[in-house]
Amino acid sequence: MKKLILFLMIFCSLGTVSAQEYPDKLNGGNKFNTLEEFRGIYNEIYKDENNEDLVKVCERTFLWPEFWIKDELIYSIKNCQELRNKNTLTEFINLEHKNIQKFNIFWNNFKTRFELERDLLRVENDLRRRTGLDYIFSDGERETKDSPFDSILDLNQLDEIFFGEKVEIPDLNFAKKTGKEMTEQIPIDDEDKWLEQIEKNHEPKKDKFNNYANNLSGSLYRMGIELFRDNLNLYPLWLAHIGKTMGDKVATDSLFTPSGFTADTHAVIQMSSDKPESVKLIYNPVSKLNSLIDNYVLKQEVELIQAKGFNVSRVSQLEQFDKEEKINRQKVAKSLNDFYQENERINENQYFTTTAPLFDKLNEMFSLFREKLKNINIDVMPPFLDKPDHSS
Amino acid sequence: MNINIKISRDFKLLFLIIICLPLNIASADLDKNFRENFSKITEKQCFNSIKYSVDDVVGIENTAEELYKWECISGKCEEYRTLINCLFNDAFEEAVNISNKNAKDYLNFEFSELRNSDINNEDKCVPLALKNIQEKQSNLGFKTDCLDGFSSKSYSACRVTETVLNEMCGYHNFLIAKMNDYKSFSNEELGYIHSITVSKGVSFEDKVSEYKKEIYKSKKAFLDASELYNNFVHKYRVHTWIIAIKSRLEYFAENWLKVSKAIETFPGKFIDASSLE
């Protein structure tokens, strides 16, 4: 609608304009200054039709397996040049073949392949010519080197007048660039690199105070989530309570949270489950941790190799990270083992040495009290706490 | 003396017989009446401006510079090709001139006419070839089917295609007649003996094969050229209009841009804007 109104405004306000030269001359000139460039087009098309270079056909023909013996070409490609000087193919072939039988075999093969290759080359030339002629006037060539005018160029100029910019073919690399990377010229050569960049751009912001920190603990956390998602969900809540009742050593950090792993950190698994077997997993985490560490190291090494292969700046980042977060498997495994053994010992000691005797004493007292009260009124006194059963 | 003359005559006759015998004497000739009236028959059927006779030389020869290379170097083949070439030359010129004229009439914008060089006339074209040919065809009774608006113009793609098709029809009929007439072939071969060009021992089958290829080749060339011309005519008209409009707009361009940006601020900012942003 806007364009229509604009056109109407223009028509109403037309004035006289002095004669000027062919417009394209003012913009740097073009190849076609006269109609001579259009003259003789039919002749050129006619001559180009069914006009194959026979030397080229011959060279392609000799690539067929019939003309090879033990991975060597029977004829030299240079022989094809001789085709130009011979009146018939028989004269050309007779140079090499004195044996009539061999000649007949060769002749049949050569003729068949020659005609096939010529037909194929003809189709190639036809396609080339037709597409070239189709796009001669609208291919967006800025210099109009193949025609005196270009419709796409004309429309671009109008776009610039109306809208200040011309319509471009969408930049396929545009979506891959983020705010920082818009100014960077990252060469993207294949799909894998493109996908890798997309994934990186969609990753959450990495910070050491959140779950996506780029350090060992964060990596282990992520790997733990990925690899042991189901197993983590099996850990019972009451194990968390064990941790909480350990006095000052209240655990807030987890092995799988990224606030840094030290030997003093105590694990609290805040999951729920009814399966008692899951307790054993807690007390044997070393083997699982080893596999986690192995996976993490492998992933790091693979990433480093890939980065080196792609020759991007991330190589230096990874190498630096590797130094800072150097994984010491033995140290980690020992620390974890010590922690759980200590945990177990504390639990056992605490129960058997302190809690259990107290319960026993209390039960004795109340059972004695009940017996003495039998004579008075058994029904009045409700039974007190029974001795807890800790055998399950 | 008489004996010498008699011997020379006999020798010539003998020589002709010896030459003719190796030639393949297989094909039947065309009907006598058909041969005599061939030109009128094709004109009535095809409305072609070129006159053809069955005895005319086609002009496709093996130049022997390259193997399997047959070229159109003389005869009716050359005449047809020149005619079509000149026809397209004229059509291009007329399309350019009339489009420029329209731009001047409707938009008051003058293009300088593309210069026509008279010095270099390698194509040997007659001026106004297109109009002359179309007149001849209409005189023969041809009535165009291109009647709607622009199509009725002499330089329109529709009319030019019709004109070339008529000429191609006559040419193909001529080639088909030659493929079925051994008499004219033998006359041509005999003609070679008395000329500088020496016959290469070409058989009638070879000639027939080349005539078939020529039919196919001329058809393909016509299709490509007419497609190019159709493309050119349409796009050149649009080009002249766009150039004329652009020259008018350049004066307003800067101010228009400012106005359009100011107008677009409101709708660009509020209309279709998501409430989540």
Q: pLDDT per residue over B235-276, tens digit each?
A: 888 888 888 888 877 777 777 777 777 776 665 556 555 554
Give Cα A44 to chain centroid, integer Å. Answer: 50
Q: Give the Cα separation of B231 and B163 in Å (integer).
A: 17
Q: What is the pLDDT of residues B138-174, one digit of tens each?
A: 999 999 988 878 788 889 999 999 999 999 999 999 9
Residue B134 has pLDDT above 90, yes or no: yes
Q: Which residues of chain A neighbour B264 with C-beta distances below 8 Å?
A: none
Q: What is the pLDDT of residues B33-72, one digit of tens each?
A: 888 889 999 999 999 999 999 989 898 887 655 556 678 8
Q: Give the Cα separation of A88 and A299 in Å (integer).
A: 68
Task: At A292, list the tokens.
Answer: 């986690």
- Direct distance between the N- and C-terminal alpha carbons of chain B, in angstroms, rounded to an integer: 118
Q: Give the Cα separation of A264 and A266 in Å (integer).
A: 6
pLDDT value at residue B176: 92
Which DSSP category does A72 fall into? E
Q: What is the pLDDT of residues A7-41, one digit of tens each?
A: 555 554 444 333 332 333 222 333 344 445 677 88
Q: Give the Cα separation of A155 and A169 in Å (integer).
A: 14
Output the DSSP codes for B87-152: HHHHHHHHHHHHHHHHHHHHH--PPPPPBPPSS--TT-PPTTHHHHHHHHHHHTT---S--SGGGG
Q: CB atoms < 10 A from the CB of B1, how many?
A: 5
> How many Cβ pairs closer than 8 A exist between chain A and B?
156
CA angle A83, A87, A89 (to 5 degrees): 60
Q: Are strands A72-73 and A68-69 parallel, antiparallel or unpaired?
A: antiparallel
CB B181 within 8 A of CB B30: yes
pLDDT value at residue A243: 40
CB A386 within 8 A of CB A363: yes
pLDDT value at residue B174: 94
pLDDT value at residue A296: 56
Of the pLDDT bands very low, low, confident and very high (cuts 50, 70, 90), residue B21 is very low
CB A137 within 8 A of CB A151: yes
pTM score, two decimals? 0.55
Chain B neighbours among A 191-250 (CB < 8 Å)? none
The most confident of the ranges A16-30, A170-184, B86-100, B176-190 is: B86-100
Is A10 at the interface with chain B, CB within 8 A? yes
CB A321 within 8 A of CB A218: no
Mean predicted lDDT score pLDDT of chain B: 77
The ipTM is 0.79
Of the pLDDT bands very low, low, confident and very high (cuts 50, 70, 90), residue A139 is confident
What are A32's strand-pairing partners?
Answer: none
Residue A42 has pLDDT above 70, yes or no: yes
Q: Which residues of chain A neighbour B116 with C-beta distances below 8 Å?
A: 34-35
CA distances from A201 to A69, A177, A198, B269 (A): 57, 8, 5, 27
Q: Which residues of chain A neighbour B213 with C-beta distances below 8 Å?
A: 50
Of the pLDDT bands very low, low, confident and very high (cuts 50, 70, 90), residue B215 is very high
pLDDT value at residue B167: 95
Q: How far is B208 from chain A (nearest CA, A)?
A: 17
Residue A92 has pLDDT above 50, yes or no: yes
Q: How many percent of chain B have pLDDT more than 70? A: 73
Q: Give the Cα separation of B123 and B101 in Å (integer).
A: 27
Residue A215 has pLDDT above 90, yes or no: no
B61 φ, ψ (degrees, to nearest 5)? -130, 160
CB A266 within 8 A of CB A243: yes
Asked if B92's CB is within 8 angstroms of A35's CB, the reply is: yes
